[in-house]
A and B are shown apart, each in its own frame.
Chain A
Amino acid sequence: MSATTLSPRAARKARRLGADYIPPSPYTLKNALTKGDVWTKLSILVFGLGNIMRKQIVKGLLLFAGEVLFILFMIFSGAYNLSMLPSLGDREQVQVKDADGFLHFEAGDNSVVLLLYGVATIAICLVFVAWWVMSIRSAYKAQCEAKTEGHASTLVDDLKALLNQRASATLMFLPILGILTFTVLPLIFMISMAFTNYDHNHLVLFDWDGFAAFKEVFFNSSSTVNGKLFLSVLSWTLVWAFFATFLNFFFGLFLAMILNRRTTRGKNVWRAIFSMSIAVPQFVSLLVMSQMLQPDGAINRLLKNWGLIETSLPFLTDATWARVTVIIVNLWVGIPYTIMQVTGILQNIPVDLYEAARIDGANWWQTFTKITMPYIFFVLTPYLITTFTGNVNNFNVIFLLTKGDPTPTDASAGKTDLLITWLYKLTVDKNDYNLGAVIGILTFIVLAIVSLITYRSSGSYKNEEGFR
């Protein structure tokens, strides 16, 4: 499309995005509503009517079926779900005596279920709005095609397009559906809990409570979850994530390069040795490590037998020792993965880059800093960021090794507790779901700030095609 036909705003966008820019579709909702004929306009109420009138029978029926299903759903449960959302229910479970004199329970409202159904219903309504827009646009498209080409695209054409021009829709449908139901929906559900009083005192019936849970965390210094504890857990979480990510990365890179050296013999044997620890499931090795590092565990016994120490080393019982231990054990767990990943990428660096560098007389250090590192950073920046966030959220290593211990008395978080294990303790052990959700949201905010800044300034975001 030439620049003259674009509006100034679209032209600016096109310049900014470059090859990424996709010109807007001519079949917009606005065009459909203003320029559509009577059938297109009727499609606002009866989905798919415009399509059926242009002989796109199957497509039209599908669109219509969607509408009918939604209306049925709203009648039978959706409307009730929405009506219960503001109050979250207030009928308590009551004991009633029936006609024969037997006692039985009459189920009351369950706020968790009502909240979940309410959230899900809102999500379904949003999907319905998208469906509505789609059906109108599709009716308008059929109208335009019928005008210019004499007939609207047939079912076969549409199906073929799904494998070609619109392959993205076909391929992404299932993955996105999965992400929406099992990642997004639960998150919205949990986030909404932060604004209720769903804690150990209100397990069945609870109410919306605004920002009370946030206030509890930050301003109530007498509670077990307070601002000071939050800051200390947060700083340890960041320290942990930083060391766990970058030590892993640099040691892993170093080992991968050593293994990749031309003169290192038995590459596969060495690689197999390091991969052994991947073959042992991570949580098994963590449980084993935790057993070995106990005050009476195998390591202390070995050191005592050799006469190196008199008393047991407090690997997991002293705060500082425990913190260093988890970082080192995490190196043991993580380096083989890094080696595996970096090896694939090292072997993928185009050989001609190195040849060109050699001809130009570059030495080893120059090729490393000018070719290897930029290439690896280019491919791995997203990986590093996800590893960093993964480490902030690294539940397994902490929970299985130390369970967050050593824990000072009266504190709800131990010295090695990350935000994530603290969250787990608050929700699963203490049933303080609202406080847990608050911690979760705060964790998210911290991560979002750290990683968006790094990612935005990384090469692989700015210049996706840099190494093609």
Chain B
Amino acid sequence: MSKHSDVAVPESQSFLQDQRKRRIFGDVLVYILLGVLSIIWLLPVVWVFLESFNKKTGPYQSTFFPTEYTFDNYIKLFTERNILDFPRMFMNTLIIACFVCVISVFFVLSVAYCISRLRFRGRRFFMNFVLVLGMFPGIMAVVAIYFILKAMNLTDSSTTLFALILVYSAGSGAGFYVMKGFMDTIPTSLDEAAMLDGCTRWQVFTKIIIPVCKPMIVYQAIIGFLTPWLDFVMAKVICRTQTNFTASLGLWQMLQREYINNWFARFAAGAVMISIPIAILFIVMQRFYTESMSGAVKG
């Protein structure tokens, strides 16, 4: 090291080694970054929200944010039910989502527990099989699924809801990989202790693994609940009559060429209405992601 740098070192070191200054410097950078990113992430959300109160109902306006605000879009969305019956679509989706959420969490937990904790013949085969299955494009099966439902007499307008629940939740067991990864990090000593105390494997599953997996269950529940709100390809093929539309299908319909000029503001209102149950759910579930839940097993 040269003499020159010898002189310079104490100062720079004092800056870098001064924990407090370094931390404040880092914090400022972090807050600036987070601030900019939050604007990017919030902007479209805020835009839809404001657009839903826009007095002009068309899609392309001369200003970025609306100039006049009104509550009409919401009122019309829920009262003018003869063209697109949004309240009904909303309820359809909510019902489907609740069922899919429960069933898919149960399926994923069961499969993940078996794969992670139990050793049985065909286990490796099943894992590889599901992995291979996931590589087939899902869209490929959509038309085929419709034919299968038709063969099962489930495509009438009275059974469409049931058909959708079936379709969304049936294959969910294949999404066990993340949950299994989580369970793999739980020490097996817990299971062994419980088995020594006389627990059956079923009891180990319900009394130990499920409580420990809470954060991941939350994640899975969100995924399951969101499926019917997000999907519209499957719904589009299966729902043939408008009374059975899911909310996503209805919203998509509002942006089609024949509707968009009158319905764009109502589309925004509908989007806000859909986001509300999901947001509430999300805030409730958020607390599971706080640091208090850190670690499958503490200590």
Contacts and interface: CB of A to CB of B under 8 A. Distances in A.
Chain A complexes with chain B: yes
Contact of B114 (A167, A189, A427): A167
A171 B290 CA distance: 31
Interface stretch (B4-12, B78-86, B229-237): B229-237
B184 A185 contact: no
Contacts of A386: 134, 177
A451 B135 contact: yes
B1 to A, nearest CB: 20
A419 B87 CA distance: 36
Given A183-B170, A278-B282, A273 B42 contact: yes
Most buried by A among B147, B167, B229, B251: B147
Contacts, number: 305
Given A186-B145, A427-B143, A277 B41 contact: yes
B205 interface: yes
B57 interface: no
B130 A179 contact: yes
Contact of A465 (B42, B60, B184, B215): B184
B26 A275 contact: no
A379 B216 CA distance: 13
B148 to A, nearest CB: 6
B48 A172 contact: no
27 contacts: A20-B119, A22-B119, A22-B121, A112-B147, A175-B110, A179-B130, A182-B166, A187-B133, A187-B141, A189-B148, A273-B41, A284-B248, A285-B48, A288-B44, A292-B44, A343-B289, A345-B182, A348-B296, A379-B185, A382-B177, A382-B180, A382-B181, A385-B131, A389-B134, A396-B233, A424-B233, A468-B184
Contacts of A25: 121
B282 A279 contact: yes
Interface in B27-52: 27, 30, 33-34, 37-38, 40-42, 44-45, 47-48
Given A281-B226, A344-B289, A393-B139, A182 B205 contact: no
Contact of B271 (A175, A280, A427): A280
A287 B249 CA distance: 12
A186 B114 CA distance: 26
A258 B136 contact: no
B102 interface: no
Given A264-B30, A382-B181, A280 B170 contact: no
Given A255-B37, A263-B23, A341-B219, A165 B201 contact: yes
Given A116-B151, A396-B230, A272 B286 contact: yes
4 A-B pairs with the lowest CB-CB distances in the bound complex, closest first: A175-B173, A347-B294, A178-B170, A186-B144
Contact of A116 (B131, B147, B166): B147
Main SS class of interface, B? helix
A12 to B, nearest CB: 16
Nearest to B130: A179
Interface residues of B, number: 105
A468 B185 CA distance: 5
A428 B236 CA distance: 11
A348 B185 contact: yes
B293 interface: yes
B91 interface: no
B249 to A, nearest CB: 10
B173 A168 contact: no
Contacts of A274: 37-38, 41
Contacts of A436: 140
A419 B274 CA distance: 31
A168 B118 contact: yes
B107 interface: yes
A451 B131 contact: yes
A233 interface: no
B135 A440 contact: no
A152 to B, nearest CB: 21
Contacts of B30: 258, 261, 264
B111 A189 contact: no
Contacts of B237: 428
Nearest to B267: A287
Nearest to B248: A283
Interface residues of A, number: 114
Contact of B295 (A267, A272, A283, A350): A350
Interface in A427-468: 427-428, 433, 436-437, 440, 443-444, 447-448, 451-452, 455, 460, 464-465, 467-468
B124 interface: yes
Contact of B173 (A163, A178, A283, A380): A178
Given A332-B40, A348-B296, A288 B181 contact: no
Contacts of B174: 175, 179, 183
A19 interface: yes
A463 B144 CA distance: 38
Contact of A174 (B34, B107, B123, B139): B107
B113 interface: yes
A276 B45 contact: yes
A351 interface: yes
A117 interface: yes
A145 interface: no
A98 B271 CA distance: 55
B130 A301 contact: no
Nearest to A381: B181
A55 interface: no
Most buried by A among B23, B114, B188: B114
Contact of A468 (B107, B110, B187): B187
Most buried by B among A258, A297, A332, A436: A258
Given A183-B141, A187-B133, A279 B181 contact: no
Given A255-B37, A341-B178, A190 B140 contact: yes
B155 interface: no
